[in-house]
Amino acid sequence: MRVLVTGGAGFIGSALVRQLVSETHCTVINVDKLTYAGNFAALGDTRFHPRHIFERADVCDFREMERLFRKHRPDAVMHLAAESHVDRSIHGPGDFIKTNIFGTYALLEAARTHWSSLPPGQRAQFRFHHISTDEVYGELAPEDPAFSEDTAYAPSSPYSATKASSDHLVRAWQRTYGLPVLLTNCSNNYGPFQYPEKLIPLVIRNALLGEPLPIYGSGDQVRDWLYVEDHARALRHVLAEGRIGRTYNISGRSERTNLEVVNALCGLLNRLAPHPEYAYERLIRFVPDRPGHDRRYAIDDSRLSGELGWTPRESFQSGLEKTVRWYLENWTWLDEVCARTESEVTRLKPVRQ
């Protein structure tokens, strides 16, 4: 099987590509523009594997996408390429509109042209799997039930509005043209190789450098946390078993406030890399809240678990400890990524996901 993965040099995409190459017999065509968030090194030895083909390209370039489909004849597409950071979307929504909406449109059209040209047997097997976020559903009050796949869309940020738009386009391509699509909407991911503008790697890095740990508002925003290797496993499972046209929510079953996450990180760091003079909690600083900040996301994944029998392997405790240990052992990776874009990371320090 030949799988075309977009955004395969990003945080989640690289985890997926590493798994597809090491745990399956798939050939992966990895299409990535290598923006600031793309990191070829995140692929490790997979970079040089004979079943990994890297194509540096922009998903917005329809002609180039068409050429890549003709050249590689994929059996499936897993579309992860996106501008993904909410804070950046507030400072500059243009790139989000371009990549997340126009890029998805260009990819859908290239996929449709390719799919239409396939012999009937292969056409029936082809899948276009779109990877999206729980943020399309908007925010929940503390007493609200978790988001289900039927929850109405109510995105709050430019980022989530562009992801919502792309979800609608993908569904429309199935209804209108019959393209066999699958959609997944997942919660906040964490794990190795995450770009350090996101909460968990940023807190680890700042703590170890003795710098403030910024928390928006009072830190009571609730998120569900999904370990990235679990997410990659879920994506593979949905691609193999999911029903055409269906949406599946993916949850880590780990709701936590941002303050709880930062305290858990401090606790792990106090144990695994103690500072000789103080506990890391001392570095916590509350900063003014972000405009339009959603209070709570929570995901009901009963369709994925009930219909497809998938549940996450990692608890939040075990996933977070693995993550902290990984960043401690791969400090040079974190440092190199930060050196590349130090000024930007500094500017965007108050974060959430």
Task: Work out which of 3, 5, 11, 155 binds ligand NAD, going by CB under 6 A.
Answer: 11
- Residue 299 is classified by DSSP as B
Binding mask 81-100 for ligand NAD (x = CB under 6 A): xxxx--------------x-
User: What contacts 232, CB < 8 A, 6 or more positions away?
Assistant: 12, 15, 16, 18, 19
Contact indicator for 207, 268 with CB cutoff of 8 Å: no
281 vs 335, beta carbon nearer ligand NAD: 335
Segment 20 to 39, residues that bind ligand NAD, using CB under 6 A? 32-35, 37-38
Minimum distance of ligand NAD from residue 309's CB (angstroms) = 22
Which segment (57-65, 205-213, 255-263, 274-282) binds ligand NAD by CB under 6 A?
57-65
Q: For this structure, is 95 an active site residue? A: no
The CB-nearest residue to ligand NAD is: 10
Q: For this structure, is 278 an active site residue? A: no
The residue type of 292 is G
Selecting among 134, 229, 255, 294, the annotated active-site residue is: 134
245 sits in the region (left: phi over 0; alpha: psi -120 to 50; else beta) called left
Task: Work out which of 3, 4, 5, 7 binds ligand NAD, going by CB under 6 A.
Answer: 7
Alpha helices in the chain (DSSP H): 11-23, 62-72, 86-91, 94-96, 104-116, 120-125, 158-177, 199-209, 228-241, 258-272, 302-308, 316-329, 331-340, 342-347
Q: How far apart are CA 345 and CA 234, in angstroms?
A: 30
83 vs 229, beta carbon nearer ligand NAD: 83
Coil, strand, or helix at residue 328?
A: helix
Identify the residue whose tokens are 């699509």.
181
Binding mask 150-189 for ligand NAD (x = CB under 6 A): -------------x----------------------x-xx
Minimum distance of ligand NAD from residue 38's CB (angstroms) = 3
> Residue 105: which of 117, 97, 115, 116 has the closest Cα?
97
54 vs 280, beta carbon nearer ligand NAD: 54
Q: Is there binding between residue 351 and ligand NAD (CB under 6 A)? A: no
Cβ neighbours, 10 Å, residue 49: 16
- Tell me the two tokens of residue 192: 């190795």
Selecting among 32, 58, 83, 135, the annotated active-site residue is: 135
268 vs 337, beta carbon nearer ligand NAD: 337
Task: Supply the residues annotated as catalytic.
Answer: 134-135, 159
By CB under 6 A, name the binding residues for ligand NAD.
6-7, 9-13, 32-35, 37-38, 58-60, 80-84, 99, 103, 131-133, 163, 186, 188-189, 195, 353
